[in-house]
Structure 1
Amino acid sequence: MKTAYGLNQLTTTGIGQTIAIIDAYGSPNITNDLNVFCKQFGLPSANLTIAYPKGKTQTNAGWALETSLDVEWAHAIAPNAKLLLVVAKSASTSDLLNAIDYATSQGAQVISNSWGGSEFSSEASYESHFQHSGIVYVASSGDKGSGVEWPAASPNVLAVGGTTLTLDSNNNYLSEIGWSGSGGGLSTYTFMPSYQSNWSSIVGTHRGVPDVALNADPNTGVAVYDCTTYNGQSGWFEVGGTSFSAPVWAAMIALANQGRTSPLTGINTITDLYNLAGTTGSVGYTTNYHDIIQGSNGYPAQAGYDLVTGIGSLKANNLVLALTKAY
């Protein structure tokens, strides 16, 4: 992943940054699992804090695997960032929002959410949870193809979709297409934010999802270690989904923050990511992004912004440096 997206060309490692990861139920084995993952890939030991704002709860095998995925890969991309795993007592919206609020109160600079649910008519009333200076909120767009989930639909949240990534034998980037499972489409309740105004021909009057993308196809998935038995298996898994691409983008934000005098902030950062793309085929676009023009989730990928991959996947060696200098 680091070679494919240019992360291996960066010198920043997340020093001084805190990445908060929001998961329901958590994993009783996450400390051990993360240590095994670090040993396997030669990573430094992680600075991991686990918080249970509403107390510990029962184990859920699916969420345990999700927790391992999020924590291990945030650490892989930003190995010197502090990790704050905030465990929601359940997968209810209220418990997950409580976990987000806790992470906000603890000084995290970026908060990753690999969860989502159906949109609802009162979702705008929850925007205050994602509007805090010096914090970027990130959410996966979903793994069910066309359709919009919340909180990815929030205009204050960076929505991350999915691709199918092809590499050569040396892990160099060859191509990407939109992943068929990538959540995406037009929000039912949120109107087009100003940062999507260049793409009104695609989104019309409503918010388009996702904003950006990254490898998410389980067939081109990544290694995750989880010793909690899931579907009769434990140990090493190959895992995909936008719940992978979201924490990787969150870790990338932490890398950019390391070189800044003040941390990036939510909607300002999303606006800058769009501005750094500019228009289809511009120098900024080709410098900072892989514009993904093939594939479909029900909506077609195409040149410029689309409802499968947003403005595309990152060329981190350029985009992280650009974000370091932003506003």
Structure 2
Amino acid sequence: MSPSRGKTLVRALAAAVLAAAAVVPLSLVTATSAEATPLLRGGLVNFACSASGQLHCLGKAVKSPKGSGPLLTSTPVGYGPAEIQAAYNLGGLHADGRTVAIVDAMDAPTAEADLAQFRSARGLSPCTTANGCFKKVNQNGAASPLPAGDYGWAEEISLDLDAVSSACPDCHILLVEASSADTDPLMTAVDTAAATPGVVAISNSYGGTEDPTITAADAHLNHPGIAVTASSGDSGYGVSWPASSPYVTAVGGTTLSKAAGTTRGWSETAWSGSGSGCSTIETKPTWQHDAGCAKRTVADVAAVADPNTGLGVYDTYNSCGSSAFCDLLLSLGLAQGADGWVQVGGTSLSSPVIASVYALAGNSVTAGSSPYAHPDGLYDVTSGNNGSCSGSYLCTAGPGYDGPTGLGSPHGTAAF
């Protein structure tokens, strides 16, 4: 390409960006919100996690009105720790130093700094490497070398870390980063997490299509005494793995709304994006008794996942820097990552929330059996659906067990 041709393209891109900025005021890109409530209801955008690999992350963000990127704000938006703890009756509970492990692919270079900003803005005590609360390792448990950075997975990691901080502020956090989004590296990371002293729960916010190889990989999810949670999926009715493994607690998603005048103060319906259904491969666990699926049914329990009622997350790892011009590029979808506060959700949010509740409970667990033995410790979610299945409970919420929300969402820690 000639220098003159290159300059022409740069000028054209700049003109397009400036034209977009003239149509929609820049203030919308850096909108502020003093209230810890969802910013808006609008379109959603998937985290741009690396497309390579057998599994993919499951987070979604509220979309900018300016383009195909996320809506960025300069101050906290969405729900925060106060709302998560109030909605699930977790206030005043303590983990006493127990550790939640987060397993994801690729590196988030700004993870610790972004976590510090989130916790400071939300009034939480620091959780750092220096004070022993936070630790980041590769899939083999070493501090280096870490995987290559990935903007989408970094956003997923920020969501996971901030979700644990919101549900369980005094939990220690271990971040284990797999070298790719393939099954083998991620399962190695799960084994590393399970072998780390102090880890009582492991959250997996990723998934992929069931295939004949998953039954062999299931062994890496079988860690008696440790709660292993997995996101049920973000594409509505349909089953993904590892949520379908009989060794995990499969976590579905809800839309969580404030409900003034009610005893609880909150209401939940099944989120339309929550994954659910009947596995075609995995054996049904002995503790699961629904009659409409001869094999493993997804999900077991649920928590907030709808990005429109989602968590405000802080993430600054991106491909363009930290200027207002960068924020505009991110919002337009012309750059990758985030630069500040983003309102997010997906069952990528509900999985670490449930892992944190397990940590608060502090009990030795056997796969996902505990909620089935203590259903009274859950808020039953009785309305909403995630697709079409002839009206079956596999995609339609109702009293008791159903696919999208399982047995329900946490009412304290009694079910865990």
What are the equivalent positions in structure 2 for 1:51-70 lying under 5 Å apart?
51-53=137-139, 55-70=145-160
The separation in 2 between residues aligned to 1:215 and 1:243, in whole angstroms, is 10
Contact in 2 for aligned 1:186/1:208 (Cα 8 Å): yes
What are the equivalent positions in structure 2 for 1:40-55 lying under 5 Å apart?
40-46=121-127, 47-53=133-139, 55=145
The equivalent of 1:80 in structure 2 is 170
The reply to whether residue 7 of structure 1 matches residue 90 of structure 2 is yes
CA-CA distance at 1:153 after TM superposition: 0.4
Contact in 1 for aligned 2:253/2:274 (Cα 8 Å): yes
What are the equivalent positions in structure 2 for 1:115-130 lying under 5 Å apart?
115-130=206-221
The equivalent of 2:101 in structure 1 is 20
Contact in 1 for aligned 2:187/2:221 (Cα 8 Å): no
CA-CA distance at 1:71 after TM superposition: 0.8
The equivalent of 1:244 in structure 2 is 349
The separation in 2 between residues aligned to 1:223 and 1:133, in whole angstroms, is 33
The separation in 2 between residues aligned to 1:131 and 1:41, in whole angstroms, is 35
CA RMSD between the two structures: 1.8
Deviations for 1:109-132, whole angstroms, at most 9, x for unmatched residues? 111100111111232222221222
Contact in 2 for aligned 1:130/1:266 (Cα 8 Å): no
Contact in 1 for aligned 2:259/2:266 (Cα 8 Å): yes
Alpha-carbon spacing, 1:62–1:293, altered in 2? closer, same or farther (3 Å):
same
The equivalent of 1:177 in structure 2 is 269
The equivalent of 1:141 in structure 2 is 232
Q: TM-score, normalised by structure 2?
A: 0.69
The AA in structure 1 aligned to 2:190 is I
Deviations for 1:181-232, whole angstroms, at most 9, x for unmatched residues? 00000001012211112x22x32x1111010011101111110000112644
Deviations for 1:256-279, whole angstroms, at most 9, x for unmatched residues? 00xxxxx41232xx22211212xx
The equivalent of 2:251 in structure 1 is 160
The reply to whether residue 190 of structure 1 matches residue 282 of structure 2 is yes
Contact in 1 for aligned 2:371/2:415 (Cα 8 Å): no
Larger Rg, first or second structure (1 or 2)? 2
Decide which moves more: 224-233 or 173-182: 224-233
What percent identity do the matched residue pairs reach? 40
What are the equivalent positions in structure 2 for 1:260-271 lying under 5 Å apart?
263-267=363-367, 270-271=368-369
SS of equivalent residue, structure 2 residue 219? helix
SS of equivalent residue, structure 2 residue 287? helix
The separation in 2 between residues aligned to 1:296 and 1:25, in whole angstroms, is 33
The separation in 1 between residues aligned to 2:283 and 2:175, in whole angstroms, is 32
Greater fraction of residues in helix:
1
The equivalent of 1:281 in structure 2 is none
The equivalent of 2:200 in structure 1 is 109
Greater fraction of residues in strand:
1
The equivalent of 2:52 in structure 1 is none
Contact in 1 for aligned 2:260/2:266 (Cα 8 Å): no
The separation in 1 between residues aligned to 2:269 and 2:344, in whole angstroms, is 18
SS of equivalent residue, structure 1 residue 128? helix
The separation in 1 between residues aligned to 2:123 and 2:202, in whole angstroms, is 25
CA-CA distance at 1:16 after TM superposition: 2.8
SS of equivalent residue, structure 1 residue 190? coil
CA-CA distance at 1:322 after TM superposition: 5.5
Contact in 2 for aligned 1:5/1:173 (Cα 8 Å): no
Alpha-carbon spacing, 1:170–1:34, altered in 2? closer, same or farther (3 Å):
farther
Contact in 2 for aligned 1:132/1:265 (Cα 8 Å): no
Alpha-carbon spacing, 1:135–1:22, altered in 2? closer, same or farther (3 Å):
same
The equivalent of 2:38 in structure 1 is none
Alpha-carbon spacing, 1:81–1:170, altered in 2? closer, same or farther (3 Å):
farther
CA-CA distance at 1:170 after TM superposition: 9.8
The separation in 2 between residues aligned to 1:72 and 1:127, in whole angstroms, is 27
The equivalent of 1:275 in structure 2 is 373
Contact in 2 for aligned 1:127/1:154 (Cα 8 Å): yes
The separation in 1 between residues aligned to 2:153 and 2:94, in whole angstroms, is 27
The equivalent of 2:295 in structure 1 is 206
The reply to whether residue 253 of structure 1 matches residue 358 of structure 2 is yes
Q: 2:180 aligns with which of 70, 90, 93?
A: 90
SS of equivalent residue, structure 1 residue 206? coil
The separation in 1 between residues aligned to 2:373 and 2:260, in whole angstroms, is 34
The equivalent of 2:396 in structure 1 is 300
Contact in 1 for aligned 2:373/2:415 (Cα 8 Å): no
SS of equivalent residue, structure 2 residue 120? helix
Contact in 1 for aligned 2:137/2:146 (Cα 8 Å): no
The reply to whether residue 223 of structure 1 matches residue 312 of structure 2 is yes
Aligned residues: 299
The equivalent of 2:410 in structure 1 is 314
SS of equivalent residue, structure 1 residue 109? strand
CA-CA distance at 1:179 after TM superposition: 0.7
Contact in 2 for aligned 1:137/1:266 (Cα 8 Å): no
The separation in 2 between residues aligned to 1:127 and 1:256, in whole angstroms, is 25
Deviations for 1:32-78, whole angstroms, at most 9, x for unmatched residues? 10110011111011111000136322221111000001011212222
Contact in 2 for aligned 1:19/1:250 (Cα 8 Å): yes
Structure 1: any 5+ residue segments left out of the alignment? 258-262, 278-283
The separation in 2 between residues aligned to 1:322 and 1:59, in whole angstroms, is 37
